[in-house]
A and B are shown apart, each in its own frame.
Chain A
Amino acid sequence: KGDFHGHQVFRIVPKDDVQLALVRVLEDILDLELDFWRWVTPVDVRVPSHSLQVVKTYLENHCIKYFTMIKDLQALLDEEQRQMKSIA
């Protein structure tokens, strides 16, 4: 089963179209393995653990506001499974 330990979801709040374009540049960097959940502002993106530092640094260097919407994706998925099993 997919393992999302260490994955976080960032909510990024570009202040204008220039910043939005800078965020979308990240999508083309395949090594980061980013998963854009939502492309409109605010932009939500799932960031694997190996890319967290790179993405944070990039956003901070460009003064793009963001916060961590989901700190531990796997914990949420585990909870979702637990609820489904408990009802079943």
Chain B
Amino acid sequence: PAGNTDTFHYTTYHTLSEIYSFQDMLVAENPKLVSKTVIGQSYEGRPLNVLKFSTGGSNRPAIWIDTGIHAREWVTQASGIVFAKKIVTEYGTDSAVTEILNRMDVFLEMVVNPDGYHFTHTNNRMWRKNRKQNRGSTCVGVDLNRNWNAGFGGHGSSNNPCSEIYRGTRAHSEPEVKSIVNFVRSHGNIKAFISIHSYSQMLLFPYGYTRKPAKDQAELDQVAQKAITALASLYGTSYRYGSIITTIYQSSGGSIDWTYNQGIKYSYTFELRDTGHFGFILPANQIVPTANETWLALKVIMDHTFKNPY
């Protein structure tokens, strides 16, 4: 195993325990900037770790980033590791990141679905959902991005436990979701919520469950365009952007629809790079380029959030 976060292999995929070790190393190396909070436990009892990047203050306005709600989208969890390292290396060297962190906190949950992620390493690389045993069914797992209380149970989710988009028995029934819900509510000062997936090269904003435009649609659209322009500046990767329902399809019970309805204006979701050849099996040599280009877009959203308090 790597001895520190400088020698850590960012160019390969890692097991859950390696990711948890990375988090502990990052905290140990940067005690004045990074701390770890356990916001709950997964269905199988694994800790739900969130890294907090903070330069002080109390309950500052904050930006939330999560990666890996869907287990098999390995490049998202891997990108989360890269983002964490970037935050600590760019604080003090990059003026935008420094200014943001001098006034705001950043929360990063690298593995939202640890049970599913572990399962992809040990049993089934193609697993998407969590590992909940569904009563009355032999099929396992709930799609955590259909379990939020935003149009829960509507079109674009399923009530069949055997479906990959099974929504669960009720909104927020899954501990992995409920833990974030509790955290967001108790914090009360989160200003941007960015949820990262792979793969379709898209940057999306609410809504997914209704065709009703978000009341901030014009601004969200403008920021998204700026963000994908920054992303493309590195390798020319082309992204589509827009609301979920108009850009992909109707999708109910998704995370950013819920956060937007909670008043978090800057709610976005990414679908990371797609080379058109590998899908979820994106080769590991694509991790760092993917994370690097995404980081540029993330910084645009973070910077806009910082400069447009509400």
Q: Does B associate with A?
A: yes
Q: Contact residues of A with B, CB < 8 Å?
A: 1-2, 4, 9, 11, 30, 35-40, 44, 46, 69-70, 73, 76-77, 80, 83-84, 87
Rounded to whole Å, the gap between the CB of A64 and the closest CB of chain B is 18
21 A-B pairs with C-beta separation under 8 A: A2-B125, A2-B126, A4-B125, A9-B279, A38-B274, A38-B279, A39-B249, A40-B200, A40-B247, A40-B249, A46-B126, A69-B279, A70-B277, A73-B281, A76-B278, A77-B125, A77-B281, A80-B284, A84-B284, A87-B9, A87-B11
Instruction: Say whether B126 contacts A4, CB under 8 Å.
Output: yes
Q: Is the CB of B12 within 8 A of A87?
A: yes
10 closest A-B pairs by beta carbon, nearest first, are A2-B124, A87-B12, A76-B281, A37-B279, A40-B248, A87-B9, A77-B125, A39-B249, A44-B279, A38-B200
Q: Decide: A70 and B279 in contact? CB cutoff 8 A.
A: yes
**Residues of B close to A30: CB separation below 8 A:** 162
Prevailing SS type, chain A contact patch: mixed
Contacts of A83 in B (CB 8 A): 12, 283-284
**Interface assignment of B24: CB less than 8 Å from any CB of chain A:** no
> Residues of B within 8 Å of A, CB-based: how many?
25
Which residues of B (105-163) have their CB < 8 Å from a CB of A? 122-126, 162
Q: Which B residues touch A73, using CB under 8 A? A: 281
Given contacts A1-B124, A83-B12, A84-B12, contact A70 B281 (CB under 8 A): yes
Would A84 and B13 be within 8 Å (CB), given that A9-B279, A38-B200 are in contact? yes
B199 within 8 A of A: yes
A83 to B78, CA, bound (A): 15
In chain B, positions 1-59 with a C-beta closer than 8 Å to chain A are 9, 11-13
